[in-house]
Chains A and B, each alone.
Chain A
Amino acid sequence: MLTKKLRIGIVCPYGWDTPGGVQNHVRDLAEFLIQAGHEVSVLAPAIDEAKLPSYVVNAGKPIAIPYNGAVARVLFGPKAFARVRQWISSGDFDILHLHEPAIPSISLLACWAAEGPMVGTFHAAAKHQKVIYAIGPILEPAIEKLSARIAVSEAARLTLTNHLDTDAVVIPNGIYAKRYSNGISREDWSGNTLGFIGRFEEPRKGLQVLLDALPIIARFAPDVRVLVAGPGDSKEVEESIDPQLRRRFEFLGRISEEDKADFMSSIAIYVAPNTGGESFGIILAEALAGGACVVASDIPAFDSLLGSGEFGALFTSEDSTDLAKTVIDLLRDTDKRNRLSKIGKAHAQIFDWEVVAEQIFSIYEMAMVGGDKITLSSENRPWSRFLSRDEGKEK
């Protein structure tokens, strides 16, 4: 697949040291491309420069701004802009891959400053992004420089077409499917167990919906247990749980990738009760790859990932009664459960990096047809020459 060796620049808008879907995606993509023999440089904001892998260039300390119902750690400002320009002009890149270029971040700055084959990936999907996208007309001149746009899901593509009036190719987020396919079923995690992975303290992850559904589920399946994995303070959540239900809960804390594989093959059902703010749902892809039977809320991202119920069961979002009904139905019907997990596992292969990276790479090839390289855009050139002379004097 990857014949010509390229110099690829990737810009990650969010702080490298904070966990997040975009960061994971950029890291995996960069490592995959490096393995394939390309030269990759990732520009990302970071707090601790010492901990960065060799392919990441620090753009400065990120600042926290509220965005999309969570806190985003991004970076912008004149100093960051100078760094971005310097990275672009010294990078000699064949192609630039910008992640989430429509929010104020170094991705947008890079889009502003560069010229040549550029690809943008849009991750976010939300109904209420008016605040950010209200500045659409200002963004337009920058965004239209992208030779090709990628959306990670149909939901992200819709957000893009609605707010910025431009289309995108849908390429899903990638997972290393093989890592999850060989999990070993552990006895203490198997039985009538429901699995949940994620930052359970965040309301949009929907643990509360599962909590509300549990009394009904317990009536039909007396031995049902819930395994919750993920970072966060479990004490507070545990105390809020009805004492009668508390013994059904087990908080595992953060688990490793290997544990995750075992987790997915042990549990009876993986439950994703998220109430929104999800654009892709990488955890569902991982659950499917691990051979878990998945029950998820019918928010757009999950609906499309699960093929409208073909690869996993859906319930009406935020409706705990419907969740309980769906779970009980599956706990009783082992055949259906096995069938769903088998179909799901086969489907999950389309999210494997081998497939996804090849799709992304073919977009790179299309963007590079003109044969140009990445340069600073004309309006930035004299300005940057002036700046670099200035920096030289300082030294």
Chain B
Amino acid sequence: MKILIFVLVILVSLWYLSFLATRLDRLHHRVETSWANLDGLLQRRAAIALEIARSDFADPASSLLLTSASYQAREAGLKERSAAESMLSGALGLLIEDGQVHTNSAERALFEELSLLTAKIRIAISIHTDAVSSTQTVRRKLAIRLFRLAGSAPLPLVYEFEFDAI
């Protein structure tokens, strides 16, 4: 009888561990896809920013600022990324107010695309942040740390976007 219970306990805990591992795996997957989504949107934003910088609308000074900010945003590593993107947001912010009253239709289309993209980026950030924070919560669980269920996967970082800036 004792052996039976012992075997049962072992089986249940094995099942629980495999359940936790799948759960964690899924969460890591969610972090990756939501990041891929956010990353793609940010790249598109940088491309639009470049286009605005090269249009007739931007004065030489803001053009220079935008160009350098968008290059930095595109080439930044993961750690510098959020600082670079915030800088791009700032540079774009300077132009957006003027952009809305501007009459040239081609440039207005650019700004419209930008504002649509910005709305999407906001949502993408919140989706990604949510994935990251659930992953962090689950990874704090004792069983997961004890049995190293996370393997070698790095702990996902919260992307500290200056939310108001975009």
By a beta-carbon cutoff of 8 Å, the part of chain A in contact with chain B is 115, 141, 144-145, 147-149, 165-167, 169, 362-363, 366, 369-370, 377-379
Contact = CB atoms under 8 A, between A and B. Distances in A.
Given A141-B23, A167-B130, A370 B29 contact: yes
Contacts of A369: 33-34, 36-37, 40
11 contacts: A141-B23, A144-B30, A144-B134, A149-B130, A166-B130, A169-B123, A362-B123, A366-B123, A369-B37, A370-B36, A378-B22
B44 interface: no
B127 A148 contact: yes
A366 B128 CA distance: 10
B27 interface: yes
Contacts of B131: 147
A164 to B, nearest CB: 10
Interface string B29-49: 110111011001000000000
Given A366-B34, A370-B32, A379-B22, A166 B134 contact: yes
Interface in B1-52: 19, 22-23, 26-27, 29-30, 32-34, 36-37, 40
A363 B26 CA distance: 19
B123 A363 contact: yes
B126 interface: yes
B66 to A, nearest CB: 26
B124 interface: yes
Contacts of B27: 144
Interface of B: 19, 22-23, 26-27, 29-30, 32-34, 36-37, 40, 120, 123-124, 126-127, 129-131, 134, 137-138
Nearest 6 pairs between A and B by C-beta?
Answer: A370-B33, A369-B37, A144-B134, A167-B130, A366-B37, A148-B127
A113 B27 CA distance: 16
Contacts of A377: 22
Contact of A379 (B19, B33, B40): B19
A377 B130 CA distance: 21
